Amino acid sequence: MSNPQNEVSHFKEKLKRIEEITSFLEDQDLDLEQAIKLYEEGMKLSQECLSSLQEAELKITELKNSFKTN
């Protein structure tokens, strides 16, 4: 089972990277090879994030401890 902590922080990192890539691509002086690499990376991350959003299922844990009085 995947660790939600990592899943969400990966998700968050991906969002940050997507923003970064978009701002890099705004620079028209970027050489062609770099621009295409960034574009491909950005598209891949966006798709990944979209599908992990769509597939997400709420995980609930209920602790059963002695402090649950009565």
Residues at the site binding other proteins, with contacts judged by CB under 8 A: 4-5, 7-9, 11-12, 15, 18-19, 21-22, 25-26, 28, 30, 32, 35-36, 39, 42-43, 46-47, 49-50, 52-53, 56-63, 65, 67-70
Residue type, 31: D
Distances 51 to 40, 44, 47, 48, 54 between C-alpha atoms, Å: 17, 11, 6, 5, 5
- Residue 19 beta carbon to other proteins: minimum distance, rounded to whole angstroms: 8
- Residue 59 beta carbon to other proteins: minimum distance, rounded to whole angstroms: 4
Radius of gyration, CA atoms only, the chain: 19
Residue type, 11: F
- Residue 46 beta carbon to other proteins: minimum distance, rounded to whole angstroms: 5
